[in-house]
Structure 1
């Protein structure tokens, strides 16, 4: 590649390196095959793709040719450290004519006997995807044509990786969320239950969740929560909060105390995460629910023969938002026979073209003291209709039976 290459030559060279698409191969296999071709075309001895992990601010070896140990040993390079870390930090090509502990943090590279290296950033849009670098065991000065060709390939691979990552993220989020939402609602004497969950069509899956679980003493725990953000990260945080809340619910009878412990946990372990949560406990008599709100919208209560209304419960700050807040509060609400409670997330009532208060008023009109399954269908038809939900929607309806079991 010593001669000067024009744009057409570089594109042809790029197509040679990438080769024909192989639909049966996964992304890692495609990257590895591409790197093997890159070694041949550029006459280099090693080629490596390191993927960027934003959470840890580091690069992780994802595929390699000629120095496969990088992948097998799980090489990690902090952004800003050494050769690859500098490429990632500056987002500019970097060439080395000296490969040793003073220029490279990965000992495998100088142990391999490399004398020259060229690395380029892998960027898709504004997002850093990783670093692509090649190395030679013989002294070599990489040309501008080498840099241009490698950068073209890095750009192409970055797009492929990002598309794959988005699909992996969505698939993992769906699998995680499905595993955490109740497969079936508990069978509770004196109560009938129903629920709905619909992922947002625009924002994608996020951190909305509901939970209903039996507690010692024939009590029922009811949770409705919404983690800020979307995607796998929000779903993972949701899963951790859900598990923690269940554990605290076994140790603490007061919903306010449970949410206080959850807030402490989130502030200590989930830095930057924020969630709204409604948590209530229905006692064994089913005559009342003790409810605490952490920044969450109040549920709707409908009594037989009366119009529905928002419950009068003052919310405390959301989970993870503040440290050292005053003791959280809990309110006891009467549940007359036949009464229905509807818990929901803001995706049910919020729209870009109307204020949330309008949506909550519309929801209140749609809630009646009726069979919970029929009520869920009515609410979803009224609030969602034939329009895809813009954001995640979770809905739980609970009715105290008019005639208690055994009565």
Structure 2
């Protein structure tokens, strides 16, 4: 086995590869595994630095995520456009790239220049046929990397890629969960004459998503209620959900017309959340509490129940989802809310199953809703619809009952 720039025999290359594929590394946590692999890649290639850059959610930039010897790239939040610069070209081509002489024309990172890096070798990080980032090493002395060097670094990238993806997924899920929990009111407000209860359960398969519920009092004395579902899951869905929920509250302060609120909200999404789509139902209850005015943006209809009567799906014409089409027309429907009567709003995770059609799920939900205190309605509905199984999609439920 030889040093940098020298010939490497097959036994030496096999020894290096065994250091990367060492099964003992599997016992390490994600963070320790990533750190150890970077240190080993750097040492085995006699490099001065090793860096991981991941493609951001937009797919347009690489972000410095982890490093050994070039930590300043991570600390400074270095970003490189995909297709430009050294790492950007590796990601765009999904192929290894070596640079023997670094200069301002082939490397964009100021941190690399500040560390006086002379030569670079980078390889793509690929999982499930998709480039998720770039692993590269650098040396302060000019270096011509060999084919065995490229093979070794690619082997390291192939092991780092799933660990890094798991790390980012874990961080995203934790952030999304914390964000969503912070945005959902833990208990609905106390409102004279109304009994309110809520439920929120993240899906076992998709994790935290974009479902939300909200209840608030308006300056006019009316009560606003909203339930919605942003398409997608994870951190981005939770972030978009937070923005939509806040915007809906702001527009609700300007008008008591639910259709007007959703029209303004749709305009905001079209302008500032390109590509986002959400369903939502927004309802306004007057101070008299005897009616509910509802506007439906592609959402499933609430279930109504009257004193001593069975639950029934309300007949509300759904308009287009938010973000689906510019200037979509929106209307309202007025529902009676007799004393002792109630409504249950929900998201699709409550009724949709792979082994059950949507009409059957809706019929089962209507049958499960009985006239009872709001907390009992939530408990009964969740038990009837989940059958002691973990939900596959996230679920939000908002139940209300007018005092008898």
TM-score category of the 2 structures, normalised to the smaller one: over 0.9
* Match of residue 354 from structure 1: 356
Alignment-derived partner of residue 322 in structure 2? 319
Aligned to 1:63, the other structure's residue is in SS state strand
Alignment-derived partner of residue 270 in structure 2: 267
Alignment match, 1:8: 14
1:219, CA displacement in angstroms?
1.8
Q: Is the 8 A contact 2:252 2:261 kept in 1?
A: yes
3-state SS, counterpart of residue 251 of structure 1: coil
Are 1:206 and 2:173 matched, yes or no? Answer: no
Distance, in Å, in 2 between the alignment partners of 1:71 and 1:196 is: 40
Shift of 1:137: 2.8
TM-score by length of 1: 0.91
Following the alignment from structure 1 to structure 2, what is the Cα–Cα distance between the partners of residues 128 and 88?
7
Query: Equivalent of 1:182, from 180, 185, 194?
Result: 185
**Residue 390 (str. 1) matches residue 392 (str. 2):** yes
**Residues 362 and 108 of structure 1, relative CA distance in 2, 3 Å threshold:** closer
Using the TM superposition, give the Cα deviation of residue 367 of structure 1 relative to its aligned residue in structure 2, in angstroms.
Answer: 1.4
Q: What secondary structure is seen at the aligned counterpart in 1 of 2:10?
A: coil
Classify the secondary structure of the residue corresponding to 1:343.
strand
The match for 2:136 among 133, 137, 143 is 133
Cα contact 1:129–1:161 (8 A) shared by 2 = no
Q: Distance in 2 between matches of 1:114 and 1:340?
A: 69
Shift of residue 33, structure 1, vs aligned partner:
5.5
User: What is the CA–CA distance in structure 2 between the aligned matches of 1:299 and 1:59, rounded to whole Å?
Assistant: 44
Match of 1:282 among 267, 281, 285: 285
CA distance in 1, matches of 2:35, 2:97: 22
Q: Which runs of 5+ in 2 are unaligned?
A: none
SS of the equivalent of 1:225 reads strand
Q: TM-score, normalising length from structure 2? A: 0.92
Q: How does 1:14-29 map to 2 (within 5 A)?
A: 14=20, 27=31
Alignment gaps of 5+ in structure 1: 403-407
Residue 217 of structure 1 is matched in structure 2 by: 220
Q: What SS does structure 2 have at the residue aligned with 1:363?
A: helix
Find the counterpart in structure 2 of residue 369 from structure 1. Answer: 371
Give the 3-state SS of the residue equivalent to 1:399 in structure 2: strand
Determine the C-alpha separation between the residues in 2 that align with 1:21 and 1:194: 46
- Count the aligned residue pairs: 398
Provide closer, same or farther for how the CA distance between residues 70 and 376 of structure 1 changes in structure 2, counting only shifts above 3 A.
Answer: closer
Give the CA deviation at 1:374.
Answer: 1.4
- Once residues 52 and 393 of structure 2 are traced to their aligned partners in structure 1, the CA distance between those partners, rounded to angstroms, is 36
CA shift at 1:20, angstroms? 6.1
- Whether 1:226 and 2:229 are equivalent positions in the alignment is yes
| Superposition deviation, residue 336 in structure 1 | 1.0
CA distance in structure 2 between the aligned counterparts of 1:325 and 1:383, rounded to whole angstroms: 33
**CA contact 1:5–1:145 (8 Å) conserved in 2:** no
Cα gap change, 1:19/1:338 in structure 2, threshold over 3 Å: closer, same or farther?
A: closer
Provide the residue aligned with 2:302 in structure 1.
299
Of stretches 389-398 and 3-12 in structure 1, the one that deviates more from structure 2 is 3-12
Given that residues 19 and 40 in structure 2 are in contact (C-alpha distance below 8 angstroms), is that contact kept between their aligned partners in structure 1? Answer: no
Q: How does 1:217-256 map to 2 (within 5 A)?
A: 217-256=220-259
Alpha-carbon distance in structure 1 between the residues aligned to 2:113 and 2:376? 69
Cross-structure match for 1:330: 332
